[in-house]
Structure 1
């Protein structure tokens, strides 16, 4: 095995669940986190503090945050779109936050009802109020494509990051293919540009969707550019409610299979993960994706 392992962030409990209409019992969500942690996964996006009306599936954020803290080995981040939601997450006991804003104005207005510039100011205010010991990630949505504006230029991403990175240079930065329309050469180009421009950033991550079947190829392109943190959702669950047409995340089991076949450590038990993915695909209202689950387990 190579000495350059990849870190997988399991986002199924947030991104994978958020678009499912029938409410998943909180106890069931925690069971999935416990089982996924037992496979060797350590980093999770466990929930999001957002409007209960906008995303009813995540109305139990407080309980999920509290319960996940009792799961051994789990480092759980909470997605937050505003400084006020960050305060809520911290009040619920969160110790790791992932702030999200979009490159495109149309998507940011649709998602959080403000311009990207207003989100930058809000992010700065949030950082100023953060207590010690809180880990921080910055999720840059529509970094490659916007459902309303189309393909996003690399310079647009760089211009936004020019404003954001000096505010918290130690934050992990994730570039997100919100619509799943990115292609591998574009992913490589954008990551080459940002990694070169911002050498002070210690950790870059990639978040892909598999709408057009290129989620895994885009993960590989990001890896080749130097990215070592990958978001994925078991059973390929997910899809952004605020990005019309976007399908699920790249499947965690697909990511594990690809890297292990390349000789790159994931420290994840693929056989155990497949069994959990089979159950995830059967959640009422879920739309599952991925290929490895079907190839190895014969699951329809």
Structure 2
């Protein structure tokens, strides 16, 4: 099965959910998760119908020891038929590692906020734009690129990010590569549905040459699914989510993870919008993920389904 990025001709009643638990979720877990366990989770997600996944990240092994096994994970997922496995790369050096390991779908990240970019990848935003330029020059024919624009709505250091700053950065990036998917990321989970709709509408109107748009949201204030729905109404058809809402940070009390994959599958399927993902099988994977030592999870649908399954026949709730 080939998953299409959003395009003008894409069906209005289908959506692509990109599972980021194996990267954004696992990186927040302190205790090391063995490669076999990571591949088991990825395999079970694939069996549930997930066809696009951020499988791992090629980053500093000292900074993120949880993802030091990126080469092994990427090699392991190669056997999963029809899986589009993208890998996150923050710099040229790590992109070279990913390409050498056989990656054919790179996911680059940089922040609108200069301060956040320094904290995240140890360089200024324009230096990251230059990195992207070098990576694009390295990419073999047939390699795909996704550009993640972090802090597109809010910065943990500087607060709300103005739409004009986001659009100015996207303009620079679109000169480097326009046939990539561009993801606007709610890094802190502080975005609201009105802000999400307005920014995507402005971006899609201003950059018709950009091949596709995606939204990466967090559920910090309980608005993850609402923000996704708002982006959907603004024409976005690709959404990041993590199984069991995996994410957060053990060193930041109150921080929560990505919007839960099972919550988005429930929301879209209830609205008659096809995800291609089996909710029952997905919920079973989510329950296994919740049991991982050190995992911080979220989401509502998993528990709601479990509670409904336990109701005795004939029970009527007020």
After TM superposition, the score normalised by the length of structure 2 is 0.91
Q: CA RMSD in A?
A: 1.6
Are 1:134 and 2:147 an aligned pair? Answer: no
Q: Where in structure 2 are there 5+ consecutive unaligned residues?
A: 1-10, 310-318
Are 1:21 and 2:30 an aligned pair? Answer: yes
Are 1:220 and 2:246 an aligned pair? Answer: no
Q: How does 1:184-263 map to 2 (within 5 A)?
A: 184-239=193-248, 246-263=255-272
1:247 CA displacement: 1.6
Alignment correspondent of 2:20: 11
Alpha-carbon distance in structure 2 between the residues aligned to 1:212 and 1:283:
24
Alpha-carbon distance in structure 1 between the residues aligned to 2:219 and 2:65:
24
Determine if contact 1:19/1:55 at 8 Å carries over to the other structure.
Answer: no
Alignment correspondent of 2:58: 49
Change (3 A) 1:281 1:43: same
| Secondary structure class of the residue paired with 2:302 | helix
Alpha-carbon distance in structure 1 between the residues aligned to 2:12 and 2:118:
42
Q: Where in structure 1 are there 5+ consecutive unaligned residues?
A: none
Alpha-carbon distance in structure 1 between the residues aligned to 2:91 and 2:226:
32
Moved over 4 A (4+): 240-245
Are 1:158 and 2:167 an aligned pair? Answer: yes
| Secondary structure class of the residue paired with 1:204 | strand
After TM superposition, the score normalised by the length of structure 1 is 0.96
Determine if contact 1:99/1:138 at 8 Å carries over to the other structure.
Answer: yes
Determine if contact 1:211/1:248 at 8 Å carries over to the other structure.
Answer: yes
1:85-113 CA-to-partner distances (Å, cap 9, x unmatched) read: 10010111111100000000010000001
Alignment correspondent of 2:122: 113
Q: Of 33, 49, 61, which residue of structure 1 is paired with 2:70? A: 61
| Secondary structure class of the residue paired with 1:76 | strand
Determine if contact 1:209/1:246 at 8 Å carries over to the other structure.
Answer: no
Change (3 A) 1:114 1:242: farther
Change (3 A) 1:243 1:148: farther
The structure with more radius of gyration = 2
Alpha-carbon distance in structure 2 between the residues aligned to 1:266 and 1:7:
6
Change (3 A) 1:192 1:3: closer
Are 1:123 and 2:123 an aligned pair? Answer: no
1:246 CA displacement: 3.8
1:73 CA displacement: 2.0
Determine if contact 2:107/2:146 at 8 Å carries over to the other structure.
Answer: yes
1:246-290 CA-to-partner distances (Å, cap 9, x unmatched) read: 420000000000000111011110011111101111110001100
Change (3 A) 1:125 1:245: farther
Count of matched residue pairs: 298
Q: Of 258, 261, 280, which residue of structure 1 is paired with 2:289? A: 280
Alpha-carbon distance in structure 2 between the residues aligned to 1:238 and 1:197:
33
1:167-202 CA-to-partner distances (Å, cap 9, x unmatched) read: 111000001000000000000010011000000112
Alpha-carbon distance in structure 1 between the residues aligned to 2:139 and 2:255:
33
Alpha-carbon distance in structure 1 between the residues aligned to 2:239 and 2:301:
17
| Secondary structure class of the residue paired with 2:215 | strand
1:120-167 CA-to-partner distances (Å, cap 9, x unmatched) read: 111111111211110110001000000001000100100101100121
Alpha-carbon distance in structure 1 between the residues aligned to 2:64 and 2:152:
23
Alpha-carbon distance in structure 2 between the residues aligned to 1:92 and 1:262:
40
Alignment correspondent of 1:72: 81
